[in-house]
Amino acid sequence: MKFAKIPMATINRLSIYMRTLQDLLEEDEDVISSELLAKRCGVNPAQIRKDLAYFGEFGVRGVGYRVNELTNQIKEILGLNRPWNLAMVGLGNLGSALIRHANFAKHGYIFRAAFDMDQQKVGKVLPNGIAINHVDELEEIVKEREIHMGIIATPASAAQAVANQMVLGGINGILNFAPVQIQVPDCCHVENMDFTIKLDAIAYHLSFGS
């Protein structure tokens, strides 16, 4: 399955639809109207139809979407019908909080390795059972444990070197919490999570309206 030129915004909304559908499953809902699903996702029903139309026909006219079916279809579209192995680099306050966060495992993202450059932290075992390795071992361990994605939660000054090691280890997807733009080859996809950039967007809206 390969779909050309799907807008990134569509991919992000599909995740939101899937999360909302998973909540509905937990609420034992079998079927949901496109209006109600749209409302819970904070979009309009036409947007959902348009986003799904890239990938085929979904939903039943006059009925809506079958919750379980559409959940599984979106999982397949996004490549989430399988687990993904993660490595965390940087076990400061933020990295330590993230690696403890239940939301990763819930969605199939499993931490398999953790790295820091602080010798005081190396060897410590985290609550999820993973021992912290020195960042010098990153490339080797990432290959051994078949890590697919890396999370960078280091200071800005260390982020580029870490990204380089990740790429050498074969990681092609990076979630970057460090407040710096990292450069990677085209084969690698980076998503940035600099929260002050989101605050800047809020500041702009508060200052000048939206």
Contact residues for a copy of itself, defined by CB under 8 A: 1-3, 8, 11-12, 14-16, 18-20, 23, 40-42, 77-80, 84, 86, 92-94, 96-98, 100-101, 103-104, 106-107, 109, 148-149, 172-175, 179-181, 183, 189, 191, 193-210
Q: Nearest 5°: phi and psi at 53? A: -65, -25
Integer CA distances (angstroms), 78 to 7, 72, 96, 153, 158, in order: 13, 10, 27, 25, 31
Of 20 and 133, which CB lies nearer to a copy of itself in the complex structure? Answer: 20
Of 63 and 124, which CB lies nearer to a copy of itself in the complex structure? Answer: 124
Write down the least CB distance from residue 94 to a copy of itself, Å. Answer: 5
Of 62 and 207, which CB lies nearer to a copy of itself in the complex structure? Answer: 207
Three-state SS across 50-100? HHHHCCCCCCECCCEEEHHHHHHHHHHHHCCCCCEEEEEECCCHHHHHHHC
Write down the least CB distance from residue 75 to a copy of itself, Å. Answer: 10
